[in-house]
Amino acid sequence: MKKILSVFICVNLWFLISVYLCFAEAKIESVSGEVTVNNAAAIVGQQLNLNDVIKTSAVSDSVIIINGHKVTVSEKTEVALNELADDTSLLKIWLGKIRAKVNKLKARQKFEIKTPSAIVAVRGTEFSIEITDSELTRLEVYEGVVSAKEEITGGEVVVNPGEFTTVKSGAPPKEPEKIGTEEKEEKGTEEKKEDFKSEAQREIFMEISRDAVKERAADEIKLAEYQNGKVLMDIFGKRVRLEEYVYRPPENKNQFKYVVLNERENRFDFGKILFTFNDVLPTNLNDATKNMFYKDGSSEPELYLTNLDSVMSNTYDKILEEASDGKMVADDSTSPTSWSLFFGNYKFYIGNADSTENSGKGKLMWQFIDNGDNIAKSDEFTFLPDDPVNISHTDPAVSTFNKMPDGNTTFHFAYRDEYKNENGDWVEKHNYIINDDGKVQTFSDIIDTADVSADKIKEKILTLNFENVYTSSMFSDKNSVDDGFGKRIDLIFSSKLLSDAGILQLPSSLK
């Protein structure tokens, strides 16, 4: 009888533990950069247990799933699982920032986050928590309602969507305010602008995990100024779901961002371009974009680009371009008839999710620094080998630009750079103009001999797409399955959305 009872207890104990494990689940969903669990490298898909500590280093982040809720752990953050049951999720964060998207909770379920100065309780919402070096807790709420309680005083506030509060140990939480209306003494206007600029650049350059990119896109596309989506074929015969949009960050009125997402059966590629202007953008974005690259006339445009930051990525490898010191330069300084955009500084990087060089951007392959005369000269272009002592102003060993390998009537352009570093690194880019069936276009496809008017050509171009394919000796493409066409960044975007937003300027006449 005793033996039977023991077996019964063991079987039921195993059943209870199994049920607990089934419903109380936490795991690592994505990793970018250096992330550890209990001081060992985090692995995608890794199960997390009670009291596990997750740490992220600089330019690193991770997404963890806890009982179906998604928590994004930002860089330089330390967080632990303090309680983990089917009806309870309790996180503790000491330093850094997290963003949580919590599903609607049932009556007895609980999701809480404990900080050095507050306990934050939610019932199904989206919010972020940041802990400063002084252990001040900042809570921002984007959806739903969140309560913030300070333990010593017992003071508690309810924070609604679009509001934030701060909590300091030993003092009641501050009354919630609208996000973006912080008291001026906290930071000056220029300092805030620099913070926003740095955060925007960090996103462009560092946020490359599939989940992080798609989550941000899901939020931004709701407020997109222009949006387009369709299914088409690429030049390799692969089916592609294309989605793209133009978005204005609400915290910085002189910027807009173009985002394009490509989903194929076995890969995800995306691109982002952040446009920064010298002043606040007008209500109609086209009033700014129509002259941002070129303008006819004697007068300089009032609005012009000062910075252009871009990334193309397959969620592991990335190509980064960083242009700054933008200005409009006249064709004739004494009697101008036209103005063209000129960047005084330009940098081209190749990196990946594990990059540590140049603050995580990757290897700086080449750069241009103007001497102040607003003219690009060969001795202002610098190619950087592995050995910085031997930096040379000479061209790469092999450099082929603007060639049309399929003939001078086919819209396929290619260039290749081979660098003089010890690895013999190279990068090659192919640009195509294609239709929705993946066919590379020729002049005869675009220009109808029966009607060669600018309007007819424009009408045709607006149905077409651009496909950019990068390959490089430095690519690993770890997050994609090799489909037989090599390790690459492969991105398609439509001419229609670029034209609608004014990024692509099509001629109004053939003069």
Share of the chain above pLDDT 90, in %: 35
> What are the residue ranges spanned by the domains of the chain?
26-189, 190-500
Q: What is the pLDDT of residue 121?
A: 85
Tokens 């209500």 label which residue? Answer: 283
DSSP state of 183: -
* pLDDT exceeds cutoff 80 at 201: no
| CA-CA-CA-CA torsion sign (34, 36, 41, 43) | negative
* pLDDT exceeds cutoff 50 at 143: yes
How far is it, in rounded angstroms, from Cα 130 to Cα 216? 18
Q: What is the pLDDT of residue 401?
A: 66
Q: Please state, rounded to an integer, the average pLDDT across all residues of the chain.
A: 83
Q: What is the pLDDT of residue 339?
A: 92
Q: What is the pLDDT of residue 180?
A: 66
By DSSP bridging, strand 119-122 and strand 78-85 are unpaired
Q: Encoding tokens for residue 490?
A: 């492969």
Q: What is the pLDDT of residue 102?
A: 85
Q: What is the pLDDT of residue 226?
A: 92
Q: Are 427 and 350 in contact (CB under 8 A)?
A: yes
How far is it, in rounded angstroms, from Cα 127 to Cα 203? 18
* pLDDT exceeds cutoff 80 at 428: yes
How far is it, in rounded angstroms, from Cα 323 to Cα 308? 5
pTM of the model: 0.64
Q: What is the pLDDT of residue 245?
A: 95
Grade residue 106 by pLDDT with cuts at 50, 70 and 90: confident
Q: Beta partners for 406?
A: none
Quick check: helix, strand or coil at residue 391?
coil
- What is the per-residue pLDDT across 286-337, written as a single tens digit (0 to 9) for each? 898 988 888 899 999 999 999 999 999 999 999 999 999 999 999 988 999 9
Q: What is the pLDDT of residue 3?
A: 35
Burial of 64 (0-12, 13-18, 19+ CB in 10 A): buried
**Which amino acid type is present at position 101?**
K
- What is the per-residue pLDDT across 349-405, written as a single tens digit (0 to 9) for each? 999 988 888 888 899 988 889 988 888 887 788 876 655 555 555 556 567 666 889
Quick check: helix, strand or coil at residue 7?
helix
Distances from the Cα of 501 to the Cαs of 39, 247, 248, 292, 383, in angstroms?
Answer: 47, 10, 12, 12, 34
CATH fold, domain 26-189, is: Jelly Rolls (2.60.120)
Q: Encoding tokens for residue 385?
A: 């080998």
How far is it, in rounded angstroms, from Cα 44 to Cα 72? 14
How far is it, in rounded angstroms, from Cα 433 to Cα 145? 48
